[in-house]
Amino acid sequence: MARYARVIGWGKYLPDRVLTNQELEQLVSTDDSWISSRTGIRERRIAGADETASTMALNAGKEALEVAGVQADSLDLVIAATCTADHVFPACAALVQDSLGAKTAAAFDVNAACSGFIYALAIGYQFIATGTYDNILVVGTDIYSRILDWQDRNTCVLFGDGAGAVVIQACDSSPGPVSFVLGNDGSGAGTIYTPGPCGVNDGRYFIRMRGPETFRFAVNIVCQATKEVVAASGFKLSDIDLIIPHQANTRIINSAARQLGIPPEKFFMNVDRYGNTSAASIPIALCEAVEEGKVKDGDLLVLVGFGGGLSWAAMVLKWEPGEAAPGA
């Protein structure tokens, strides 16, 4: 008998601290007009001294479990997508598993940078499709403020901190992931990277990025991956109700929309408020799209991301959370 999965719960966490473009003007040679015109970002959230990738993931995960109506001790697996984990090891997911009280759940991390959440969601789906697990928590969480050079205006204005999560559960019908594509071009690994572990603030481990190369890659791969994943689903681009892209830059998203011939209103964007939250950006955007009523039961969604690696990932997701999940 075929096994399928559906998203039954969702949650997000954003730190309280808001850092505006006007405040950044006091830290680095930039201004609000320069930032907003080139990125669309107006503010971002910055984690407090007592917050980490795992504490943010914990908060998002708790909210997702509450929406799903699933107890932590019913979880079979916790997957955390992150490239800014609290430690080299143990895994961020292991800390979340313990803090939630998910005592019988396996736990591991996935690092595909900003594409990580879709990678993790695809992995979780495979565990359910094979009959191995029934309830899985998938979290995207990143704390880029710890790896930024606050004197480099080409990077420090772009990123923010946050976490987003979903609970996926086995079901007999066929909502949930319809198709997905994952990809990577390791020859571009030097385009955007961090040389060492998170939290060592001595200058050696700040994020490095070649902006123009990243921009060109991002626009092309969003178009390519979106076309490929929709073709694999058996649907057409015109059947897609909403595209939720990685929230890196409004110019990237608008350029991709033009190349795809899709109206920009079919792309959900919240990058203006949060900046690029890496692996957290797509689940945060998904949560907000649901909260704002832009996702309805039965809708076909495309999730599409890109990031360091150079990695990319896309998924066609049918939104049918079921009657048990509130807020649908």
Task: Give the DSSP H or E segment for 116.
Answer: helix 116-129
User: Catalytic: 114?
Assistant: yes
Taking residue 201's Cβ as centre, other Cβ atoms within 10 Å add up to: 12
Q: What angle do CA 180, 12, 314 make, to 5 degrees?
A: 15
Q: Which of 111, 198, 246, 287 is catalytic?
A: 246
What's this model's pTM, rounded to 2 decimal places? 0.94
Taking residue 61's Cβ as centre, other Cβ atoms within 10 Å add up to: 33
Taking residue 199's Cβ as centre, other Cβ atoms within 10 Å add up to: 14
Tell me the fold of 176-318: Peroxisomal Thiolase; Chain A, domain 1 (3.40.47)
With a cut of 50, say whether residue 325 has pLDDT above it: no
With a cut of 80, say whether residue 292 has pLDDT above it: yes
Q: Which of 111, 223, 276, 287 is catalytic?
A: 276
Task: Give the DSSP H or E segment for 97.
Answer: helix 92-100
Tell me the fold of 4-171: Peroxisomal Thiolase; Chain A, domain 1 (3.40.47)
Q: Give 195's pLDDT tier (boundaries 50, 70, 90).
A: confident
SS3 77: strand
Measured distance CA(145)–CA(125) in Å, rounded: 31
Q: DSSP secondary structure string, 248-299?
A: S-HHHHHHHHHHHT--GGGB---HHHH-B-GGGHHHHHHHHHHHTT-S-TT-
Measured distance CA(265)–CA(119) in Å, rounded: 26
Q: Give 65's pLDDT tier (boundaries 50, 70, 90).
A: very high
User: Catalytic: 156?
Assistant: no
Parse the chain into domains and list their residue ranges. 4-171, 176-318
Average of per-residue pLDDT across 263-275: 97
pLDDT, tens digit (0-9, with 9 covering 90-100), for 215-243: 899 999 999 999 999 999 999 999 999 99
User: Catalytic: 87?
Assistant: no
With a cut of 70, say whether residue 201 has pLDDT above it: no
Average of per-residue pLDDT across 207-216: 88
With a cut of 90, say whether residue 208 has pLDDT above it: no
Domain 4-171 matches domain 176-318 at the CATH topology level: yes
pLDDT, tens digit (0-9, with 9 covering 90-100), for 96-112: 999 999 999 999 999 99
Write out the two tokens for 73: 């001790």
Q: Which of 92, 114, 198, 223 is catalytic?
A: 114
